[in-house]
Chains A and B, each alone.
Chain A
Amino acid sequence: MYEFMRNALLGSFMISVVAGIIGTIIVCRRKVFVAGGITHASFGGIGIAYYLGLNPIVGAFIFAVATALGIDVLERKGTIRGDSAIAMLWSLGMAIGLIFMFLTPSYASNLMGFMFGDILSISTIDLWCIAVVATLSLLLSVLFYRPLLYVSFSPSFARVVGLRVGLIETIISIVTAIGIVVAIKAVGIVLVLSIFTIPQAIVGKWKRQMGWMMLWSGVIAFVGALLGLAASYYLDWPAGAVITAVLALLKLLLP
């Protein structure tokens, strides 16, 4: 098998693990809009990293985590409405990214890759990043499933019971942010939310436990990714777009 295809398959599998776990947490906690903000704001980091000649994923990590924590802080302080805070950081990140991309010669070709993803060009370094994040999210969600479940279900009650809700929510925010960033490589900023939310919408109807929702969402995300890869390889269609379309179609076809 070609190396790029093997990398793409391995990458898709590990991203599906991340999307299953972290997407379920996002959906269950009703933080989809927050995830959208984190995703788009990370473009600011990509732009700056490109301008400075650094690995763009590093810039994306920094911006994503800063945005996730920034949204938490702004929401807690209550000086700005939560959804307005998200919208502001969402577009500010995009604006910063655009300015720095514009200042960098030959930006246009890279822009498309980050906007819409390019799973066939996934590198060994990217794979290692994804592997670390996939292992981390798997370990955390299995080991600490109970506090994760209780804080996600009802943070106010978890606080009454004595769980350290602030700390747990901060850890969730950070892991969510880095999980989103590693998936951007495959499906791009514009489409990444699809693999973090549509599988959950598909299995949500018949899963009554968060753990099973994580597992089966991951499986469905992987099915979508495989079909997307095949279409991208044989038809030369953009993989990210096919993955999103396949997942949405599955949602419509399944009861």
Chain B
Amino acid sequence: MERDDDILIKLSDVSAGYEGVTILSDVNITVRSSSFIALVGPNGGGKTTLVRLMLGQIDAMSGELFRRKNLRIGYLPQINDIDMEFPITVEDVIFSGVPCLFRHTEEERRRADELIRFAGLEELRSRQIGRLSGGQRQRAFLCRALMNNPQLLMLDEPSTYMDRDASTGLYALLDKLKNEMAIVLVSHDIDSTSHRARTIYRVERNVRLVANHYIIK
């Protein structure tokens, strides 16, 4: 039986868009603490809009959007949103996953160390972010997304521009995380995600369930 106390985000008949142009309509989707959801679909179909709705970057035009109070979301944005020439080290990119006014706390430093080990980036922590390979870079941004110890991890096209080995490395890390937090993964490519996600939705103006491998233990 499905319980309600593990719901992190729930969209009921939600429509969304920009400047009056509707991109998504009648969206119904629920993210639970055990979810591993893949969002697939064509470019322009509204995947990123759905992500921005869930993140709270945009508001719904109609419908109801529930988000659990104080929900901690870890977010891995699309790679082309990032300035690779910026003078910042891998370590500082990871630290930027938590807000900071003056200095990072001892606990945050320990968390960063732990994540750097988890992602196998020990040797690269002082490198400028642009001097990493595609796979190493995504692992660094995954660490940044994990800094706030999220209950929900959202990844927007994480394997773009990555070769096969690199994306396998990233997905291996996700396999370790999937039992600790909910994951929402955006991907244009259904093959590499389909056997990992428990639930697959196709996003094209509305959201349609494609497959559900949800196993109730």
Enumerate chain A interface residues (CB-CB to B < 8 A).
28, 30, 143-144, 146-147, 149-150, 152-154, 156-163, 204, 207-210, 212-213
A149 and B88 within 8 A (CB):
yes
Q: Give Cα A163–Cα B92 distance, bound, in whole angstroms.
A: 16
Tell me the B119-150 residues at the A interface (CB within 8 Å).
126-128, 131, 144, 148
Q: Give Cα A144–Cα B102 distance, bound, in whole angstroms.
A: 6
A-B contact list, 5 entries, CB within 8 Å: A28-B87, A146-B100, A146-B104, A161-B98, A210-B86
- Nearest 5 A/B pairs, CB to CB: A208-B128, A146-B100, A150-B96, A162-B99, A210-B87
Tell me the B174-204 residues at the A interface (CB within 8 Å).
none
Tell me the B80-96 residues at the A interface (CB within 8 Å).
81-83, 85-89, 92-93, 95-96
Chain B, Cβ-Cβ closest to A163? B99
**Given A30-B83, A146-B102, A160-B73: A208 and B89 within 8 A (CB)?**
yes
B87 and A207 within 8 A (CB):
yes
Question: In the complex, what residues of B have CB within 8 A of residue A154's CB?
Answer: 77, 81-83, 96
Q: Give Cα A146–Cα B98 distance, bound, in whole angstroms.
A: 10
Excluding A149-B96, A161-B99, 4 further A-B contacts by CB distance (< 8 Å) are A147-B99, A160-B75, A207-B87, A209-B88
Interface size class of B (residues with CB under 8 A): 20 to 34
Chain A, Cβ-Cβ closest to B85? A204
B100 and A28 within 8 A (CB):
no
CB distance from A1 to the nearest CB of B (A): 37
Question: In the complex, what residues of B have CB within 8 A of residue A209's CB?
Answer: 87-89, 92
**Given A144-B102, A156-B81: A208 and B97 within 8 A (CB)?**
no
CB distance from A101 to the nearest CB of B (A): 39
CB distance from A215 to the nearest CB of B (A): 12
In the complex, which of the residues B55, B92, B100 contacts A160, with contact meaning CB atoms closer than 8 Å? B55
- The A/B interface has a contact count, at CB < 8 Å, of 71
Q: Give Cα A28–Cα B126 distance, bound, in whole angstroms.
A: 18
A157 and B128 within 8 A (CB):
no
Question: In the complex, what residues of B have CB within 8 A of residue A143's CB?
Answer: 102
B87 and A146 within 8 A (CB):
no
A149 and B57 within 8 A (CB):
no
A157 and B102 within 8 A (CB):
no
Question: In the complex, what residues of A have CB within 8 A of residue B92's CB?
Answer: 149, 209
A153 and B86 within 8 A (CB):
yes
Whether, in the assembled complex, B101 has its beta carbon less than 8 Å from a beta carbon of chain A, the answer is: yes
In the complex, which of the residues B57, B96, B104, B148 contacts A153, with contact meaning CB atoms closer than 8 Å? B96
A204 and B55 within 8 A (CB):
no
Question: In the complex, what residues of B have CB within 8 A of residue A28's CB?
Answer: 86-87
Question: In the complex, what residues of B have CB within 8 A of residue A160's CB?
Answer: 55, 57, 73, 75
B96 and A157 within 8 A (CB):
yes
Q: Give Cα A23–Cα B82 distance, bound, in whole angstroms.
A: 21
Whether, in the assembled complex, B217 has its beta carbon less than 8 Å from a beta carbon of chain A, the answer is: no
